[in-house]
Amino acid sequence: FDALQQFDPDIAGVLISELDRIRGGLQLIASENMSSPAVITALGSTLTNKYAEGYPGRRYYGGCSEVDKAETLAIERCKSLFDADHANVQPHSGASANQAVYGAFMKPGETILSMALPMGGHLTHGTKVSFSGKWFNAVNYGVDKETEDIDYAEVERLAKEHKPKIILAGGSAIPRLIDFEFFRKLADEIGAIFWVDAAHFIGLVAGKAIPSPVPYADVVSFTTHKVLRGPRAGAIVCKEEHAKAIDKAVFPMMQGGPQMHSIAAKAVNFKECATPEYADYAKQVIANAQQLATSLGEHGIRPTTGGTDTHLSLHDLQGIGVTGADAEKRADAAGIVLNKNAIPFDPAKPNIASGIRVGAPCVTTQGMGTDEMKQIADLIHTAITEGDGTPEHAAAKKVRAQVTELVERFPAYPR
């Protein structure tokens, strides 16, 4: 750090002030976490220098003996963690991993059946602004109006009508467990590939806190930086019969040289995830998310689907007359970081939204438990119903004082 501070005080300053920002507030973005010093050390290493196109033992560059060891460890640990036939740890991100899955199984113009973005899906699942919607024909399912959970009857109807090449389950705002067995049977019935994008919940699977999609799916893609708590990147596991297609699709179809520092950090993270401490963490993440959902609900901030089985909950703010955009701004002004989110059948525009998404991965990493979640729900309620979006407002100041007290008791990256 001294070298950085001397050469580039501007960026050194950003590193420090970002650490202060993380430490100073409550981080409730469901897709974020706080990776360990061990992961960050691997990320900030000289492995960033190495070109290693190809795979361990069959590279297009010399000098790969050491990075081969890192990638082999990452692959073996990933396979063992998820009990998977095959793992590819090279995707640079979740979007890159998804691009590779399309590349492995689909030709431009072919059809995929996936969850609609405003219902909880992801940009890369076929939205028109993404490569996925530009190159492929996406047919979308949504959620049931009553239960607000996946509309399985609609999935079945659309699958039989459109005969997609791939059926995709998973998304960015799904609070409930997904019925993988249902999707597997349906995919078999119509001869489709069953793909799970497990980016959000794979950490809970790693901690054995929820059922795994791996036995059911042909292929599972995921990010490594959400509940999982590794570096900002992606990975793919799949059945042996798809191993070659996936590897070829990651490199050379979609990517060039792998980021070996990031792959080493993934190896460290997979080792962390195999510990009993991580299993406890994963279970606590769910308990905390459930408490947050319940306590916010008691304040009239209704959890969609009635609650959560995972690390996140989605809340409908229409009952308290606040928009998602205002809630995000008011919470932020009080030191609580969360995001506005469309709720199913949202009448508001996506940049306003009628909901918020809250997640427990970060605060659980800090060691908080269900008592703290009750307090956080009270603080969110006060901030978003009484605040005006400025840090000077009395409600924001009152909440921030309690946030400060809380994060001092449960520090992020303790000194």
Query: What is the distance between the alpha carbons of residues 410 and 415, in angstroms, rounded to a whole number?
Result: 12
- 51 catalytic residue (yes or no): yes
| Residue 19 assigned as binding residue | no
Catalytic residue among 51, 111, 378, 385: 51
Residue 300's contacts (CB-CB under 8 Å, 6 or more residues apart) are 319, 320
Minimum distance of ligand PLP from residue 29's CB (angstroms) = 10
- Residue 348 backbone zone (phi > 0: left; psi -120 to 50: alpha; other: beta): beta
* Active-site position among 50, 77, 226, 340: 226
Task: Look up 309 and say whether it is catalytic.
Answer: no
In terms of C-beta density within 10 A (0-12 exposed, 13-18 middle, 19 or more buried), how is residue 160 classed? exposed
Which residue is at the shortest CB distance from ligand PLP? 94
Q: 382 catalytic, yes or no?
A: no
* Residue 226 a catalytic site member: yes
Among 325, 296, 334, 328, residue whose Cα is nearest residue 312: 296
Instruction: Output the CA angle 213-218-221, nearest 5 degrees.
Output: 65
Contact assessment for residue 223 and residue 196, using Cβ atoms and an 8 Å cutoff: no
Residue 56 burial by Cβ neighbours in a 10 Å radius (0-12, 13-18, 19+): middle
Burial (0-12, 13-18, 19+ Cβ within 10 Å), 239 = middle
Cis omega (within 30 of 0) for bond into 215? no
Segments in 241-275 forming alpha helices (H): 243-248, 260-273
CB of 134 to ligand PLP, least distance (A): 17
Q: Which is nearer to ligand PLP, 64 or 97 (CB)?
A: 97
Task: Look up residue 302 and give its two tokens.
Answer: 């209704």
- The answer to whether 240 is a known ligand-binding residue is yes
Q: Which residue has the tokens 């239960």?
A: 147
Closest to 237 (Cα-Cα) out of 111, 74, 122 = 74
DSSP state of 143: B
Residue 28: which of 288, 354, 308, 357 has the closest Cα? 357
Catalytic residue among 232, 271, 283, 374: 232
Name the catalytic one among 32, 197, 218, 332.
197
Distance of CA 378 to the CA centre of its chain: 26
Q: Minimum CB separation from ligand PLP for residue 299, in Å?
A: 27
Give the DSSP H/E element, type plus range, for residue 167.
strand 166-169
Q: What is the residue type of 58?
A: R
Helix (H, G, I), strand (E, B) or coil at 121: coil
133 among annotated binding-site residues: no
User: What is the closest distance, in whole angstroms, from the C-beta atom of residue 98 to ligand PLP in the complex?
Assistant: 6
Minimum CB distance to ligand PLP smaller for 219 or for 379: 219
Contact set with ligand PLP (CB under 6 A):
31, 93-95, 98, 122, 124, 170-172, 197, 199-200, 223, 234
Query: Whole-angstrom Cα distance, residue 296 to residue 315?
Result: 8
Active site residue 77: no
Measured from the CB atom, the residue of 233 and 383 that comes closer to ligand PLP is: 233
Q: Do the beta carbons of residue 410 and residue 366 sit within 8 Å?
A: yes
List, as residue ranges, the binding site for (6S)-5,6,7,8-tetrahydrofolate: 117, 121-123, 240
**Binding-site annotation: residue ranges:** 117, 121-123, 240
**Which amino acids are annotated catalytic?**
51, 53, 197, 223, 226, 232
